[in-house]
Structure formats: C-alpha cells, structure tokens
Amino acid sequence: MISLSLQKLIAVLNAECLGPIEPASAIDGLTIDSRTIRPGQAFFALKGERFDGHDFAAEVANKAAACIVAERRPALPSDNTTPVLLVPSVLGALATLAGWYRHELSAYVIAITGSAGKTTTRHILHHVLSRFYRCHQAVKSFNNHIGVPLSILGTPPDCQVLLLELGSNHPGEIEPLARLAEPNAACITLIGPAHLEGFGNMQNILVEKTSIAKGLKADGVLYVNGDQPALAGFAKTLGCRVKTFGTTVGCDIIGTDLIANGLTGQLRIDGKTVDVPLPGRANLMNVLTVWSICRDLKIELSDFSEAVKTVSPVPMRLAVETIGRITLLNDCYNANPASMSNALETLSRLAGQTKQRAVFIAGSMAELGKQAEQLHYQLGRQAATAGVGCLLACGPFARAIIDGGRETGMAEADCHFFVDTTQLCDKLHLFIRPDDIILVKGSRVNGLEAAVETLKQLNPTTQDKAHPKQKIPN
C-alpha cells in the first residue's frame, strides 16, 4: 500500500493545501470510502451518481484522516486541523497518484482483459504465481477507471508481480487504463458479444480489447487467444510482441485433449496431463491462458501442474455448492452470451453424469443493445439443446429466453418467465425438486444472489416452521 509524506502528495497532485502541514506528516494508504477509513489514511472525496464524498469530510476528519483530497472546500468543524488538498478533479488526482506510484514500483505488471474469463484467469494466475513470487492482485473485479488506480495504490512496495484486470463497456476505456498500468505483459482471454449496447458490433469490441497493447512497455508481450483468428490476426498488426495460446495448430502455446468431466477437467500441455479442479471447458482454457504467461516467468510445467491442483473457484463464478440434495452451480456474478454458453455446457455434462434434472435459472443479460432480443432467444434455444428440464427466466428479456426454449422443443409447462428476481423467488418453491441440479446465472442487474438465498431457504434438510409452504414438493 502506498506510503508517502504529505508534502510529497501535495507535490505529486500539484494541489493547493488548506490547513496546517506538520513536517512529519505522513500518508499511510488511502481510501474513497468514509466507512472504512483508518487513522493516517488520505481520503479522496470522489463524486458518484448517488453520493458525493465531500459530504463525508467531517466524518473522516473525526476519524483522524491524514488529509482530504477534494475539489472544493468541504464543510468541516471550526476546530478542524485535517489538511484539505484542493485539486481540479479528485478522480484525476487518483489516477495521477496511481501513475506516480506505478513508476515507484519495481513489480512486473500483468494486465488482463477480454469479454469473459478475466477474473477467473487472474485468480488462477495469482494462485500459481504466489507460490514463487510476492504477488498482489486487484481486489474483487476492480477493473475500471476507479478500480485500476485503487489496485495499483494498494500494492505493497516490495511486490514482485502485480496482476491487474482491465474492463470496458464503451470504446476508449481500455487504452487509458493500460497506459496507467504500463504492463510488462498483457493478456486478452477472448473476444465475444458482451456490452454490445456500448460497442455496437464485434469489430469495435476487438479494437477496444486490443487497445491494451498501447500501454505495453516497449519490450512487453501481448498474449492472445489463438483459437480466434480475427483476434490473433489483428493483434499481430499492433507492432508489439504477440504470443498465441489455444488448441489449434499454429498457436505458440497449445493445449490438447481438453476433457471437462463435470466438476473437474484435464488437458495436456507439452505431453503432460494437467488436472484442473474446476468445472467447464472454459476453465481449461483459463488454465492454458495462465500457463502461457507462467511459462515465460520461468515456472516449470511440473510446478505449475501441482499448483493448479489446489486452485479454488472464484465465488459466484460457476462455483459448485450442495444444498441438501440439490447441486447448485452458482454463477450469478455476471453474464454474457459466451459465459452463458459455457455454463450451460457444464450444466448439461453434470446432469448427464448424475442423472439429475437440469434446472436453469436465467437472468437477463445486460448491455447487449439491438441484438439483445435475438441473443436471449438463442440462449433459450441453447438451454433446450443442452437438455434443460426446467427453464426459469427473469428480467427484461425473460420472455425471449422462454420463447427460444419452447420453440426448440421444451414443454410449455417446463418454461416460465418472471418480471424480475423478486417475482421469481416468490414462485421458486413451485418448481424446484429435491434432487435437481440448478444453474443460476445472469447479469449483475438481476441480483440473482436472492435466488440462491431462496434455494437455501428451500433446503429440504432445514426445518423452517415459519415458512412451511416453501418446502420443496416431493
């Protein structure tokens, strides 16, 4: 975490200081959240759609903040002694400080982007590299114009490898993040139809994701999915070193014999079998992606394989849970067509192995623009093709999902749509059986964690006398 003198912070931000400056004043980290501030931290008074950090200036001053970075003079007690650093833009000041600190760090920086798999790839990479290096990674999915600076500023000074995640839902967002991060290595997991509302078409997504290369250091390496010819071909026109990973001939790093066995899987790399304790083919590709980077960091394949054996799933990303006799695939963190397809494939394979009825609780996918209706219809068709026995959809495009399922052969009695997650949860007890295997997946706006909690309340091993009507019917 960043630590510097108050005088140095003023100089880096070129700020006007209101209030006394003690010669020994020091900054020990920073925060944008008044609820979590610790004594000695700098408070950056960011403004958002629903809040204004300036409104909490008095609160952080009372909590012994080292200073307050603000765009205007905040309301403070008359006896206040907390320095206020005035800047034209608090958000700009956050990025400026992160850029300065990035140059103070000696860490090897790896930046990851892509339409799907960013967080899981980063998670696996951190799990492996932490065995060999002092490794720091972004918190949760801190991957935007606020999250990336905070991730950099939260990095310990002695960090050897820093893993960052760069996200975007509109053109022009990746490049400034990449230039701020100045990665030694950058990775594009895959390109898919995500955030089409902001991008318009796949070509714009391709251009946006590959703009990560514009922040690469001069000797940096760009790792891209070689199974996507358009991506690999475009990347090779960018004037940087490119390495491709994939399962097709011509990739620089090739994985073969990918087998998804339900809850686990395996693949072969350079003739060695790598066991992966995660569900789905996409996770096998994530592991291959991670290997392409680890290989260049002098990790032996045998050591890599041993490390991968103990990796755990990222919460709410195809995480397998047991609720009584129900098997739950909790993947409700987010969704786009590519990740939906992978999750359905995993559900289908698991249901086939366990002979359980496959249930798909599908939340609408957000930010798909003009193609949203068609993509949700296709999702319904995919659910039917995957052998889903009960399809429950909620959100703005729930009807399109159901139409796709019914028109691809699902019985009308097995397909139901709901206006929102609340309505879904109220009716869920009518459709779930004790031995189901259930996939819960949708975009964040659906708040499908509520459906997961409802399923837990419906647990047939739980004695809930207060809500007997919600017991799972036999």
- 365: containing domain: 319-470
The dihedral built from the CA positions of residue 270, 272, 273 and 277, taken in this order, carries a sign that is negative
CATH code for position 269: 3.40.1190.10
At residue 470, the pLDDT reads 35
> Are 129 and 150 found together in one domain?
yes
Q: How far apart are CA 263 and CA 35, in angstroms?
A: 39
Q: How far apart are CA 234 and CA 386, in angstroms?
A: 33
- The residue to which tokens 């400026």 are assigned: 96
> Are 335 and 436 found together in one domain?
yes
CATH code for position 35: 3.40.1390.10
At residue 10, the pLDDT reads 95
- The residue to which tokens 């959240």 are assigned: 33
Of the residues 41, 57, 89, the one at which a domain ends: 89
> Are 283 and 330 found together in one domain?
no
> Are 132 and 255 found together in one domain?
yes
Of the residues 65, 89, 113, the one at which a domain ends: 89
> Are 246 and 268 found together in one domain?
yes
> Are 110 and 196 found together in one domain?
yes
At residue 460, the pLDDT reads 54
> Are 128 and 190 found together in one domain?
yes
- Do residues 356 and 386 lie in contact, with contact meaning Cβ atoms separated by under 8 Å? no
Three-state secondary structure along 253-320?
EEEEEEEECCCCEEEEECCEEEEECCCCHHHHHHHHHHHHHHHHCCCCHHHHHHHHCCCCCCCCCCEE
Residue 130 included in any domain:
yes
> Are 235 and 134 found together in one domain?
yes
At residue 78, the pLDDT reads 83
Phi and psi at residue 455, to the nearest 5°: -60, -35
Instruction: Tally Cβ neighbours within 10 Å of residue 7.
Output: 15
pLDDT digits (tens, 9 = 90+) for 339-386: 999 899 999 999 999 999 999 999 999 999 999 999 999 999 999 999
Q: How far apart are CA 59 and CA 35, in angstroms?
A: 9
Residue 100 included in any domain:
no
> Are 85 and 130 found together in one domain?
no
Counted domains in the chain: 3
> Are 301 and 370 found together in one domain?
no
Q: How far apart are CA 167 and CA 171, in angstroms?
A: 11
Please report the DSSP string for 68-80 in residue order: EEESS-----TT-
Residue 98 included in any domain:
no
Average pLDDT, the chain: 92
> Are 284 and 327 found together in one domain?
no
Residue 415 included in any domain:
yes
The parts of the chain modelled with pLDDT lower than 50 are 461-474
> Are 130 and 181 found together in one domain?
yes
CATH code for position 367: 3.90.190.20
Residue 95 included in any domain:
no
Q: How far apart are CA 23 and CA 12, in angstroms?
A: 17
Residue 461 included in any domain:
yes
At residue 23, the pLDDT reads 67
Helix (H) or strand (E) holding 455: helix 449-457
- Do residues 186 and 212 lie in contact, with contact meaning Cβ atoms separated by under 8 Å? yes
Question: Tokens for 396?
Answer: 């703005």
Q: How far apart are CA 209 and CA 194, in angstroms?
A: 11
Q: What is the DSSP letter of 444?
A: G
Q: How far apart are CA 231 and CA 190, in angstroms?
A: 8
Residue 280 included in any domain:
yes
- The residue to which tokens 């009825």 are assigned: 357
Residue 338 included in any domain:
yes
Of the residues 33, 65, 89, the one at which a domain ends: 89
At residue 464, the pLDDT reads 38
